[in-house]
A and B are shown apart, each in its own frame.
Chain A
Amino acid sequence: MNNTDDLFTTPADAGALARLHRRLEQAAEEEGLLDVAYRTVDSPVGTLLLAATPRGLVRVAYDVEGHDRVLDTLASRLSPRVLQAPKRLDAAARELEEYFDGRRRSFDLPLDLSLSKGFRLLVQQHLPSIGYAQTRSYRQVAELVGNPKAVRAVGTACATNPLPVVLPCHRVLRADGTPGGYAGGPAAKTTLLNLEAAA
Chain B
Amino acid sequence: MSIKQPFEKVVEEHGGTVLRVCRVLLASHDADDAWSETFLSAMRAYPELPETANTEAWLVTIAHRKAIDVLRSRRRQPVPVEALTEEPTSLGIPGADDGLWQAVRALPDKQRQAVAYHYAAGLPYAEIAQILGGTTDAARRAAADGIRNLRRNYPGGGPS
Residue numbers of A with Cβ under 8 A of B are 1-5, 7-12, 16-17, 20-21, 23-24, 27-28, 31, 33, 36, 38, 71-72, 74-77, 79-84
Contacts and interface: CB of A to CB of B under 8 A. Distances in A.
Contacts of B40: 24, 27-28, 31, 33
Interface string B88-105: 000011001100110010
Contact of B2 (A10, A11, A38, A75): A75
Contacts of B2: 75-76, 80
Interface of B: 1-8, 11, 15-16, 19-20, 23-24, 32, 35-36, 39-40, 43-44, 46-47, 92-93, 96-97, 100-101, 104, 115-116, 119-120, 147, 150, 154, 156-160
A3 B156 contact: yes
Nearest to A37: B8
Given A1-B97, A72-B5, A81 B43 contact: yes
A80 B4 contact: yes
Contact of B158 (A3, A12, A16, A17): A3
Contacts of B100: 1, 4, 7
A75 B47 CA distance: 10
Contact of A21 (B11, B104, B147): B11
